[in-house]
Amino acid sequence: MVRIWLVSIMVCSAQAASAELSSLFPRATAAPEIATRASLFASDPQIGFFAPRPEPSLEVAPKVGTGSDPVDHLLSLIARAEAGSAGYDAVQHGARVKPAHRPTDMTLGEIYQWIADTPGQPHAIGRYQFIPSTLRRVADVRGFGPETPFTAGVQDALALVLLEDAGLSRFQAGELSRRRFMHNLAQIWAGLPLPNGRSYYEGHAGNSATMTWATFDGGMARIWGG
């Protein structure tokens, strides 16, 4: 009887871990909660100004950021500004020493090792251009260890943490205006513009907006219905 009980616990634990890893978008019945709001550039020379908030339960349904859900389209809009055509395999162009493999063929541990082995250069990586400190933080929020493959689905799951940092749940609940949400997104991703067309981090470490305000504003209006 003891052996059967232990096996049952192990099976249930494995199923729960699998569900966590394969999920991305919040269920409609989930109560909106707010994550720790820390800029993509926190602990970096490019400093953001978000204050800490309680972390949410990021329970999500299986999807990758290429579907028809509004959040899928938002992820694609951000990726357009951050990664361009390189998508999930993007590496910051200023990195003199690139990873030995495509990012999607690496584990988080291999990416951490590449970062450690190549000091003094930019290390933004993936579709959402995670910098080292942010990558470690959002991976920790998700519970992704060094053995986790840096797949498209994993990158999207990590980006969802940053969307919550910007106030996604509050925006969807009507508690945050679209313009304020866009401003928060621009504080996280340097490629997104402010209404004046400039990056929130304009001039810091060579950053500038990579899309116009009209494109950003128009894209958000199409995604969220005007």
The predicted pLDDT at position 204 comes to 76
DSSP state of 134: H
Task: Map out the domains of the chain with their CATH numbers.
Answer: 35-53+63-224 (1.10.530)
Identify the sign of the CA torsion 151, 156, 157, 161.
Answer: positive
For residue 37, give the nearest of 55, 62, 23 by alpha carbon. 55
The mean pLDDT values, 10 residues at a time, for the chain of 226 residues are 42 39 34 30 33 35 56 95 93 90 97 95 95 96 96 96 96 95 96 95 82 96 86
In 10 A of CB 211, how many CB atoms?
A: 17
DSSP 226: -
The whole-angstrom separation of Cα 83 and Cα 20 is 26
Which pLDDT value is given to residue 119?
A: 94
DSSP string, 88-116: GG-B-TT-SS--SS-GGGSBHHHHHHHHH
